[in-house]
Structure 1
Amino acid sequence: MYPGTQDQVFEYGSGHIRSSNAITLDLDFLKAVGTLRVPRRVWEALARHASWIEPSILSRWVELLENYDGTAPPGAYRDALSWPNVEHSTREVRTLAAQLQESGGPLYCVWSGKRLNDGYDIDHCFPFKHWPNNHLWNLLPTAPEVNSGKSDSLPSAQQLHKAEDRILRWWNQAYRQTDYESRFYEEAQVALPLPTEQPTSLDGLLTGLRRQRVRLRTDQQIAEWSAQ
């Protein structure tokens, strides 16, 4: 309830799950579990202040589990609920880019438009330092000198706008109609605020990319960068 009222904060609806020996945690399964509606203002506050809220919730949850159980060794529940360290990795996409080059496909720096021949980097569009994310949509081929200049900065709105066609070309070239396509869209749906009318289109992903850029800029005040 909201303080001083009888108005419920969270609305929910129960679903129905058939028992099975194995389940797949995909969107269809989660829809079958039920629904939970979070007011936008509450969601935005949780997203913005997650770095302060999460430790409090985690501590309270661990305390409740330890009281219910009483047999687990000290620290067992906290260790089980801790997030693993995410490795900064571009190897998979670098291998994919190399395979595309070997097949004769042209490879371009998404930020400068320069054709990449012998040397190239794989850049995290949203810097890994500020948002540890190795999703396929976030990894883009870039000229080494451009990647070095961008470093841990966020692409500016103007830079992202100038690069849109090249990002779309890379996504289409690397992931559409390949074994990566399903994973590519699933990762984007999990991480990006996609438009409801275009959840599985490249234009919709680009809209989500622009929206997430604004969120990161607003919430973390990350320095912006534009190619010269």
Structure 2
Amino acid sequence: MTFRTRTLALATFAALAAAPAAFAQDGYAGGETAAGKRVSIVGGATLLQPNNDTGRNDGIKVDGGPAPTASVSYHVTDNISAELWGALDSFDHRVRADGAKIGTVEQRPLALSGQYHFGDVDNTFRPFVGLGYHHSNIDNEDLNPGGNHVSLTTPKGAIGTVGVDMNITPTWFARADARYLRSRADVREAGVNTGQELKLDPWTVGFGIGARF
């Protein structure tokens, strides 16, 4: 486990450990409800893993990595929302060919999705699904040390989301989600397109703490 992974894990566990104290101070006393609250914010940690199925990308594989993420949602109704989600720091990826490291690359995805949240707004568990569009900023490519600079174009495409919120109070909730990003990037060498397309198509798994207002 890398230092960065340990730091993210510890930060997430600390937030989860601290949450009950906050929850205890903001209970459902007096018939309080989450209904009608239109904005929610979630912060947490996410692991992103590119799809490395056998036979893809001419033997090139891209390792996954963690990063802090956050989202802001506007709830049009108690069941329908629009979410802006993205990474607060870059996901760092090691690129391998035939099992050997050939370089590194960083990406920072940003996505806008429409979501549907099932059930009553005050249910303890509220599953949700979403569909939208994303693009990922690619940066700091180091893929051909000592040779011509190899770069990747900005991958973009559809994003699908499934998740569940666990309501603790009308304000605070915990979230777990998974996302699939259809993500393809053209490979360029010395600024010229090589004709090769890198198929990333990553999955993400994330955990976080949220508040609604």
Task: Output the TM-score relative to the length of structure 2.
Answer: 0.24
Greater RCO structure (CA 8 Å; 6+ sep): 2
Say which one has the larger Rg. 1
Question: Greater strand percent: which structure?
Answer: 2
